[in-house]
Amino acid sequence: MEIVRPKIFSKYKSLICGITTRSWGDFKEPAEYKKNSKRLAKKLKIDPARIVKAGIQNGSDIVFIDKNKKNYPGDCLVSSKRNIYLMVTVADCVPVMFFEPQRKIIALVHAGWKGLAKSILKKAVKKICMKYGIRPENLIFYIGPSISKCHFEVRPAVAGLFPASLITKRSNKLFIDLKNAAKSQLLSARADTKKIEVSSDCTYCLSKKYFSFRREGKKTITAQAAFLGMKK
């Protein structure tokens, strides 16, 4: 069973991070989450009770985790503690990981079009840097697999929330480049472009590898998990 690993973090051996693929099953529905997160924890050799899962709200709240709880409302979790494993579920939205290697700060964001329209990534960089006294250019980022500009068709009202440079028009349809929206938001918060890795995987295109809300069009969402933590 494959886990997608960010290359940009590979030299940091204390980090435990990745995105599950379809073969790991769903991480959204509570009973499935319980079963599948246990299997994942076993594979990662971590305690499943130390996983802190974000309660997705499509908002832009930044939540600082000081002790582990099972679930936090919000789309951005931040931690400076070892042995806490942040998790968000995604099924087309963009998972974004942050790591500051000197002070050992981590953050994990669920960035959908709603969160991005509310500048969740820009806010996250700003708040994290203020809280810990760190610099944006020292942060390292991974922008993970999500629905890409080949498939993310939106209504004109949604497209209007994003800069024109992120919109493409094909046969009278509008498409947003969400990953690039995420990257430009990080750059506007003074991130270093050399410290940003962007996955080229489209969750809609790669039907064997990922769940995709748009492609599957089901009422109940099935989702992969993005996770990020530091070993104890």
Site residues (CB under 5 A) for Zn ion? 148, 150-151, 202, 204-205
How far apart are CB 199 and Zn ion at their closest, in Å? 12
Residue nearest to Zn ion (CB): 202
Pick 1 or 150: Cβ nearer Zn ion: 150
Residue among 102 and 171 whose Cβ is closer to Zn ion? 171
If the CB atoms of residues 49 and 150 are measured against Zn ion, the closer one turns out to be 150
Residue pair 231/82 in contact (Cβ under 8 Å)? The answer is: yes
**By C-beta, is 96 or 202 nearer to Zn ion?**
202
Residue 92 contacts residue 204 (beta carbons within 8 Å): yes
On whether the CB atoms of residues 41 and 49 are closer than 8 A, the answer is no
CA angle 95, 98, 71 (to 5 degrees): 60
Query: What pairs with residue 79 in β-bridges?
Result: 106
Q: How far is the CB of 20 from Zn ion (least distance, A)?
A: 19
**Beta carbon of residue 214, minimum distance to Zn ion (angstroms, whole number):** 9
Compute, in degrees rounded to 10, the torsion defined by CA atoms 155, 219, 202, 92: 70
d(CA 107, CA 125): 9
Q: For residue 225, which of 6, 17, 20, 4 has the smallest C-alpha distance?
A: 20
Closest distance to Zn ion from the beta carbon of 170 (Å): 12
Q: In this complex, which beta carbon is closest to Zn ion, that of residue 9 or of residue 204?
A: 204
Least Å distance, CB 18 to Zn ion, is 21
